[in-house]
Structure 1
Amino acid sequence: MYEIIGTRASRAIRVLWLAEELALDYTHIPAKPRSDEARAANPSGKIPALREGDAVITDSTAIMTYLADKHGALTAPAGTIARARQDAMTQTILDDLDGVLWTAARHSFILPEEHRVPEVKDSLKWEYARNIARIEDGLSGPFVMGEAMSVPDILLTHCLRWAGMAQFPAPGEKLTAYQERMQARPAFQKVIDMP
């Protein structure tokens, strides 16, 4: 059995959603960052973490990639061109969306106040809008990679949701409809309804 460590209000929601899509047997430990439970899994106290027996994996994308590969779903097979394209999209989302949103969060409430530069957020919002428009232009199927859901869909949907909560620019019509479809999925709804 897997243990997924981290609150739904963090990137752990990505792992929880993937686990639900795969119908995995798991226990959720809703630990906050730097809590005793989080530090027991990851000495840095960062979440999420996945515990499988004595093994611990950290970082939401690493966890999702591991689980998708292990269970042979929500991913293209390793060593294929399709997988290389999927990995490229994963990295694009992490670099162009997640990284921008994380920088904004750091300058909003994470960094010590004397190290925050609130003025950077206007630039980050501009960059996010440019990047999300480019991703929207490339969306040609019901999912990011075409006809089948994959790990990048969970990343993108989470970033779109995060951006909305952070009052970043809204996506265009195509990505708005995509986000609504993804968030209507039963697995996503189950995670959102968790205590």
Structure 2
Amino acid sequence: MYQVIGKIRSRTLRVLWMLEELGQPYEHIIAGSHSEAVTEVNPEGKIPVLIEDGVTLTDSTAIIQYLADKHGALTHPAGTINRAIQDGLTQFLLDEFDAALWVATRHMLYLPKELRQEGIHDTVGWELARSQKVLAERMGDGPFLMGEDMTVPDIILTHCGGWALSAGFKISEPQLKEYFRMMHGRPAYKRAMVLE
């Protein structure tokens, strides 16, 4: 059985949601970054952590792609054109959404007060609005990012959408607003969200 260490209000949600989508059993250990439960298995202190057969895996994207590959679901096979497109979407989302949101979050919560930049929220908001337009143009007829099949990038994007809203950013593209409504309605997502 998998062990997942981390809090829901973090990238840990991606791992829990993936396991729910896959129907895999797991134990969820609720622990924050740099807590003793985390640093015992990950000296960096970062969450999420997935433990399988005594092996510790870190980084939410690496974990969810591993789980998708292992269980043969929510991904396209390695070495295919569709997988290259999927991986391109994953990298785009990490670069344009996740990274921008992490910059804003650090300046709002984690950096020493004297290092926080007050105008960063406006800068990140502009970047996110631009990235939403680019993504809306890349999205096909759906319902998922890659058409009829839900894949790893859908989990990343939906998590980033919720993160953006909770940080006070707007979802400006109508296509994305509808997409997030659909994704938040998935039973596996709802199950993952009530684990804390």
TM-score (norm 2): 0.97
Q: CA–CA distance in 1 between the matches of 2:18 and 2:185?
A: 14
Within 2, Cα distance between the matches of 1:171 and 1:121? 16
Q: Which amino acid aligns with 1:160?
A: G
Structure 1: stretches of 5+ with no match in the other structure: none
Distance in 1 between the 2:131 and 2:21 partners? 27
Residue 33 (structure 1) shift: 0.5
Aligned amino acid, residue 150 of structure 2? M
Q: How does 1:75-94 map to 2 (within 5 A)?
A: 75-94=75-94
Please state whether the residue corresponding to 1:135 is helix, strand or coil: helix
- Structure number with higher relative contact order (C-alpha < 8 Å, ≥ 6 residues apart): 2
Amino acid paired to 1:12: T
Q: Structure 2: 5+ residue runs without aligned partners? A: none
> Does 1:156 find its partner at 2:153?
no
> Whole-Å Cα distance in 2 between the matches of residues 40 and 83 of structure 1?
35
CA distance in 2, matches of 1:121, 1:24: 38
Q: Does 1:14 align with 2:10?
A: no
- Aligned AA for 1:78? A
User: Tell me, what secondary structure is at the counterpart of 1:47?
Assistant: coil
User: Following the alignment from structure 1 to structure 2, what is the Cα–Cα distance between the partners of residues 183 and 133?
Assistant: 21
* Runs of 4+ displaced beyond 4 Å: none
TM (norm. structure 1) is 0.98
Give the root-mean-square deviation of aligned CA atoms. Answer: 0.8
Aligned residues: 195
The Cα shift of 1:32 comes to 0.5
Name the aligned partner's letter for residue 62 of structure 1: A
What is residue 145 of structure 2 aligned with on the other side?
144
Deviation at 1:133, TM superposition (A): 1.3
